[in-house]
Amino acid sequence: MTFNYQNANIHYNVRGKGPAVILLHGFLESATMWNPLIPLIVDKHTVITIDFPGLGKSEPIAEVHTMTMMAEVVDALLQKLNIDKATLIGHSMGGYITLAFIELFEEKVAKIILLNSTSKADSSERKAIRDRSIQLMEKRPKAFISMAIGNWAVEDSREKFKEDLDFLKNQAYTFPVEGIIAALRGMRNRKDRTEVLSKFPRPKYLLLAEDDPIIAAKETGKLAQQAGVEVKIISGGHMSMIENQSALISFVQSALAH
């Protein structure tokens, strides 16, 4: 299904019955990343997925897709569906957007479940990497996508989960170049939302992976615990949905059940 947001077609899907859960994918991903989880939670929940603007099948909106703007797109979808309260589950960039959402619409959120994500802003080193990524994306998009997705998984996983990682790469090659760049700019410019996370008064969970090259597990876990978040650290790299699927799914199921 699609809806129109600022003249862009945004793809979404709704399945199941029960309390609403909205699944927010990460950078270079789309709603397809949730396919292994959906059948396991759809009996007891209304499960909503979305492709963020400029990723998946959704059209880009602007030159910079800020986390706030993406949170506003999520809100527009929930309003369209007449949903006034939902649990948000966000992977990585989807987690940054979850935090932007609670900053704006805290009263609409029942619970948050963050996966391989952080409340921290980009460090200056990371901002410099974003700038180089944008340059590479402008010149050699396929090389950037292949390298980025390849680097997210730990070395062991690269062969073991080659098919899933190749699926992700091939899917991302079809995304509009300007959409990917807009998301890179949005992540680069995002602010620190540790305070926002800390103030959120309802249940909050964070799953981290020991060898995640993007989100440092120990440091991020400590910070989140100080913000009152229930944290679990599992093995593997940044792509827990692929690299440690059973642990991710049981974490989400138990967080949803509490």
Contact 97, 73 (CB under 8 A): no
If the CB atoms of residues 46 and 98 are measured against ligand MLT, the closer one turns out to be 98
Contact 115, 91 (CB under 8 A): yes
Compute the least distance from the CB of residue 56 to ligand MLT, in Å.
13
| Dihedral over alpha carbons 30, 121, 115, 102 (to 10 degrees) | -90
Compute the least distance from the CB of residue 207 to ligand MLT, in Å.
13
DSSP state letters, 69-100: HHHHHHHHHHHHTT---EEEEEETHHHHHHHH
Give the rounded distance of the alpha carbon of 139 from its chain centre: 26
CA dihedral for 253, 225, 201, 13, sign (positive or negative): negative
Compute the least distance from the CB of residue 164 to ligand MLT, in Å.
14
If the CB atoms of residues 46 and 113 are measured against ligand MLT, the closer one turns out to be 113
Compute the least distance from the CB of residue 209 to ligand MLT, in Å.
12
If the CB atoms of residues 81 and 146 are measured against ligand MLT, the closer one turns out to be 146
Compute the least distance from the CB of residue 85 to ligand MLT, in Å.
25
Report DSSP state, residue 196.
H
If the CB atoms of residues 69 and 187 are measured against ligand MLT, the closer one turns out to be 187
145 Cβ partners below 8 Å, 6+ apart? 28, 169, 172, 173, 180
If the CB atoms of residues 41 and 172 are measured against ligand MLT, the closer one turns out to be 172
If the CB atoms of residues 46 and 70 are measured against ligand MLT, the closer one turns out to be 70
Compute the least distance from the CB of residue 152 to ligand MLT, in Å.
6
Contact 31, 170 (CB under 8 A): no
Footprint of ligand MLT on this chain (CB under 6 A)? 26-27, 92-93, 187, 214
Compute the least distance from the CB of residue 214 to ligand MLT, in Å.
5
Inter-axis angle of helices 93-105 and 177-189, nearest 10: 60
Q: In angstroms, rounded to a whole number, what is the distance separating the alpha carbons of residues 184 and 79?
A: 27
Q: What token pair was written down for 187?
A: 């992540």
If the CB atoms of residues 48 and 215 are measured against ligand MLT, the closer one turns out to be 215
